Amino acid sequence: MPVGQARRQLAEFEPSHVNRLVVIDARLTCDCPAAEGHVEPVHLVAVRADRERQRRDADDPLGRDEYASFLFDFPQHPGGRLLAWLQAARYQRPPAVVGAPDEQHAPGGVENHGGHRRQWQRLLADAGAKIKDKLRSRHPGSLGDAARCVRRGIRVIAMSMRTLGSTGVQVSPLCLGAMMFGAWGNPDHDESVRIIHRALESGINFIDTADVYSAGESEQIVGKALAGGRRDNVVLATKAHGAMGRDVNERGNSRRWLIRECENSLRRLGTDYIDLYQIHRPDPATDIDETLGALSDLIRAGKIGYAGHSTFPAEAIVEAQWTAQRRGRERFVCEQPPYSILVRGAEADVLPVCQRYHLGVISWGPLASGWLTGRYRLDAEFPASRRAQRLPHRFDMSLPGNQLKLAAADQLAGLAAEAGMSLIHLALGFVLSHPAVTSAIIGPRTMEHLDSQLGAPADGLPADLLDRIDEIVPPGVNLNRADRGYEPPALADPARRRGSR
């Protein structure tokens, strides 16, 4: 097929409604080793589309069962067509309409270099650029330069994005949590920076850290990773509340501390603004209006873009929203609750409240502190864990709640295998299935941890699989009470339940 004719055919098939772009860079094996170093990779463009999109709500997500109508392929690749190669490499099938002529339609008479047809390569590259330009015009900001990646012969240019609450800010379904960078997890700063860069190159544009993580070391590592021009393409979030020193006022949610600690975080992160500044936990000693007043001033001063909170109970979320409205304060725009298959208490109140007030939800602990990684099985030795040393109440097997978690994790591992995915992907897909959830926070300590979590089903899991999960862990249930992340003072302090006599 002449190249001009191929271009016209591409124009006919070009989808008019798209919601995702994936460009895969397949480094194909050359027949002529001497020429291999002179051959550039072939760019294969994958665009997911729905031909019935015009008759549906533009915000309605595409179904998982919709398949490609055509496919751009490189028939000369050893082992057959591209899709077969992707599946053999255990790379998740692109949820995309990908363009593909048959072998007999490959352009003839084009100069070969080590088995590659350069003219066909140029056609694919031009087609990819054309479609990307159209996507950029329809979805500004969703295809940032920071979303470029070359990893093990595969390049993913863009990840589907979600809107953070009602802010209009677009964030990736996976948020990179930085708690494990530093003394709490990986003390190697250079390796931690490489992990962050890999995440950004894989399409993640959302990073969450906190001042208290390794006493500020995590923020310093994130700052190093974002130096050199990466900062502007990242939605950067951090948190304040935890104790950062021996002084009684170096903690909490008071104006005095938040104003000071925000400056400290800006310095450690090496930036002059924080996109999302979150209150790490409620502070019963501080009036919520005091906290909102400080955050409002930080927003107006340009120090932070938005304010959020983490692990707030439903009643505290409502109180904060009402206070902001009545006092003329900037309101919180998102909540960061603990949420996983084993920790489902948020489904009963927090997540519905967030939906009611149009708050974004950035769930922490989607792998339940490692319980949903596949390492915890009934027939296996109980694995050692750094978190178990810091948080023994979440791992002590003498506690009935942790025994229930082990039994559930074992059943879920079997379910994941039956569904043809890893338990990690099952766990992340479950969290991302909830309509209230914007992003799930992943907290890798090593590059292997990150690789195992990338590629999770961003569109969630099918209904039949979610039903099977509900049979193992009922909705709205926390198997271990300690996993909910916050104990109300009325329960934690017996004196609050007993009057003086």
The pLDDT of residue 495:
83
The reply to whether 273 belongs to the active site is no
Sign of the Cα pseudo-torsion (29, 34, 35, 39, in order): positive
How far apart CA 202 and CA 186 sit, in angstroms, is 21
Q: HSE (CB half, 13 Å, CA atoms) of 317?
A: 26
The pLDDT of residue 383:
78
The pLDDT of residue 486:
87
The pLDDT of residue 416:
95
The pLDDT of residue 129:
52
The pLDDT of residue 79:
35
Q: Write out the E strands in 101-196.
A: 112-113, 116-117, 162-163, 170-171, 174-177
The pLDDT of residue 249:
96
Where in the chain are the domains?
3-147, 162-492
Strand arrangement of the beta sheet that strand 42-49 belongs to = 18-26, 42-49, 97-98
The pLDDT of residue 500:
62
Rounded to 10 degrees, the C-alpha dihedral 437/442/278/460 comes to: -10
| DSSP conformation letters of 208-255 | E--TTGGGGHHHHHHHHHHTTTTGGGSEEEEEE-S--SSSTTSSSS-H
Show pLDDT as tens, one digit a residue, over the chain (501 residues): 443 443 344 333 333 333 333 333 333 332 333 333 332 333 333 333 333 333 333 343 333 233 222 233 333 333 334 444 344 444 343 333 333 333 333 333 323 333 333 444 454 445 445 544 544 454 444 333 323 332 223 233 346 899 999 999 999 999 999 999 999 999 999 999 999 999 999 899 999 999 999 999 999 999 999 998 999 999 999 999 999 999 999 999 999 999 999 999 999 999 999 999 999 999 999 999 999 999 999 999 999 999 999 999 999 999 999 999 999 999 999 999 999 999 999 999 999 999 999 999 999 999 999 999 999 888 888 877 777 667 778 888 889 999 999 999 999 999 999 999 999 999 999 999 999 999 999 999 999 999 999 989 988 999 999 999 999 999 999 999 989 888 888 888 888 888 765
Backbone phi and psi for residue 162, each to the nearest 5 degrees, phi listed first:
-130, 155
The pLDDT of residue 391:
75
Q: Kindly report, residue by residue over 215-272, the tens digit of the pLDDT.
A: 999 999 999 999 989 999 999 999 999 999 999 999 999 999 999 999 999 999 999 9
Q: Which residues contact 397 (CB under 8 A, 6 or more apart)?
A: 382, 403, 406
In CATH, the number for domain 162-492 is 3.20.20.100
Q: Write out the E strands in 27-160.
A: 42-49, 97-98, 112-113, 116-117
The pLDDT of residue 465:
96
The pLDDT of residue 264:
98
Percent of the chain past pLDDT 90, that is, above it, reads 58
Rg (CA), the chain: 25
Q: How far is CA 167 from CA 136, 164, 239, 342, in A?
A: 20, 6, 18, 30
Q: HSE (CB half, 13 Å, CA atoms) of 147?
A: 24
**Annotated catalytic residue within 67, 91, 213, 376:** 213
- 283: nearest Cα among 223, 241, 317, 246: 241
The pLDDT of residue 261:
98
